[in-house]
Chain A
Amino acid sequence: MTEVSVAKEGVAATGDLVVLKNVNKHFGALHVLQDIDLTIARGEVVVVIGPSGSGKSTLCRTINRLETIDSGSITIDGKPLPHEGKELARLRADVGMVFQSFNLFAHKTVLENVTLGQVKVRKKDKKAAEERARALLDRVGVGAQAEKYPAQLSGGQQQRVAIARALAMEPKVMLFDEPTSALDPEMINEVLEVMQQLARDGMTMIVVTHEMGFARSAANRVVFMADGRIVEEASPDQFFSNPRSDRAKDFLSKILHH
């Protein structure tokens, strides 16, 4: 299997990559993000968990400005998030995103899905892009499906293609917005394994998920959100065995014991 680098080679894993300061956002009367402060270091894997409606998906989507914010600041690799236009597009290319509903381009083959961004955004030539795409598809275990269309693949395969598509851009950080929530149970593991591998390779990851097993085994830090606020931040061991806040205790008692 071809080795494909994902993290920037040779760059020391130091410094803060994503910094959110005092971020607020409203959906109408609903205050979905309240005074969010969050710093993610290079190479860190942060898992965001919380009850539905707690704002964790919204938080994830603000980081590449698929959702705008009302106040506060977000910087990525020292640069503040641009508002619109070319600058924003350039920054988004450095931030990989994996969606709950995969969102593979339905009219393009798997291979075209993974080459598109490289050719149109990174301006790579087609041959090099295809080479990298095939290597990435092999790596996530769907190399044999390269010529098929997304609708011909299972959910787990589609999500792995989506991860390959994001990796093809050589992102500095990867955002996962509930990547396994739309999957049949038997397909969840094949996606989580790819993400585990990615975490081991040193990719900076922000993962919104309900997979507590993944949080335990792959996360450097767990961020617990409820009602638009970050209620608790801790290492996975500490969070799962000894949560401090009542809200977290309540949440964990509901999902862990049955």
Chain B
Amino acid sequence: MSATYATHPEAREIVFDFISDYDDPTLLGAFWMTVKLTVFSGIGSLVWGTLLAAMRVSPVPLMRGFGTAYVNIVRNIPLTVIIVFTSLGLADIFGVTMGARDDFALQGFRLAVLGLIAYTAAFVCEALRSGINTVPVGQAEAARALGLKFSQVLSLIVLPQAFRSVIGPLANVLIALTKNTTVAATIGVAEAALLMKEMIENEAQTLLIGAVFAFGFVVLTLPTGLILGWLSKRLAVKR
């Protein structure tokens, strides 16, 4: 093929027309949905994962048991099964519509976020728990000796140090989460993977479409890894 896009601008239009032919959602709109899924699920799983980690190290046997059981069950179920269950199980059978009974797009989004949080929190919990194990036991003893309560020992002394030592592993979890949001496509959330599937079905440029979406995800995840890697070094606790 001797013709180039530069000498034949109309060729570029034909090759890349799949990008402009879609407007509900647009390519950017679909990736924006991916970003929203990642951000909401990321914050949610950080909170829920931290609570789970607190349960797993708590002195109350019942809490420890719940935390252990939750992590070992949830992290061993495929995410697809969890996400599909939120829609077919929670919403359709149990009527949990997340405050969006008639707005299916919003309902799907919220259910997907719920499923992603439930799943990702198990991994956040385990990353954090390994971080808790890096904090010398003397730190907690000194805190208890001052008269701090268990919740204060954890929130003021142990967890801040644990978080700093696991920023790297948490970055991995966040990157995995970003890519895992594609599973939300199975319940019809209009994020990047769903749009990709639609484009591949309708267009001829299969490889190019794949490359565009792959590039989109790298653009999202590469800075995540770099920034958090930098932060991990900066915030490392010196002993």
- List B contacts of A91 (CB < 8 A): 147
A149 within 8 A of B: yes
Residues of chain B whose beta carbon lies under 8 Å from any beta carbon of chain A: 59, 136, 138-139, 141-149, 152, 156-157, 160-161, 164, 237-239
Task: Write out, one digit per residue, whether chain A residues 5-25 have a CB within 8 A of any chain B CB (1) or not (0).
Answer: 000000000000000000000
Sample of 18 further A-B pairs with CB below 8 A, known A106-B237, A107-B164 = A64-B145, A86-B149, A92-B145, A92-B147, A93-B146, A95-B145, A97-B145, A99-B142, A101-B136, A101-B138, A103-B138, A103-B139, A103-B141, A121-B147, A151-B239, A165-B142, A165-B146, A166-B145
Question: In the complex, are the beta carbons of B238 and A149 less than 8 A apart?
Answer: yes
- List A contacts of B238 (CB < 8 A): 106, 149, 151-152
Q: Which A164-197 residues have a C-beta within 8 angstroms of B?
A: 165-166, 169
Task: Write out, one digit per residue, whether chain A residues 52-79 have a CB within 8 A of any chain B CB (1) or not (0).
Answer: 0000000000001010000000000000
Query: Bound state CA distance, A162 and B142, in angstroms?
Result: 9
Q: How far is the CB of A114 from chain B (nearest CB, A)?
A: 10
Residues of chain A whose beta carbon lies under 8 Å from any beta carbon of chain B: 64, 66, 84-86, 89-97, 99, 101, 103-107, 116-117, 120-121, 149, 151-152, 162, 165-166, 169
- List A contacts of B149 (CB < 8 A): 85-86, 89
Question: In the complex, are the beta carbons of A89 and B147 less than 8 A apart?
Answer: yes
Q: How far is the CB of A56 from chain B (nearest CB, A)?
A: 17
Query: Bound state CA distance, A212 and B238, in angstroms?
Result: 34
- List B contacts of A84 (CB < 8 A): 59
- List B contacts of A149 (CB < 8 A): 238
Q: How far is the CB of A147 from chain B (nearest CB, A)?
A: 15
Question: In the complex, are the beta carbons of A66 and B160 less than 8 A apart?
Answer: no
Chain A residue nearest in CB terms to B147: A93
Q: How far is the CB of B76 from chain A (nearest CB, A)?
A: 34
Q: How far is the CB of B60 from chain A (nearest CB, A)?
A: 10
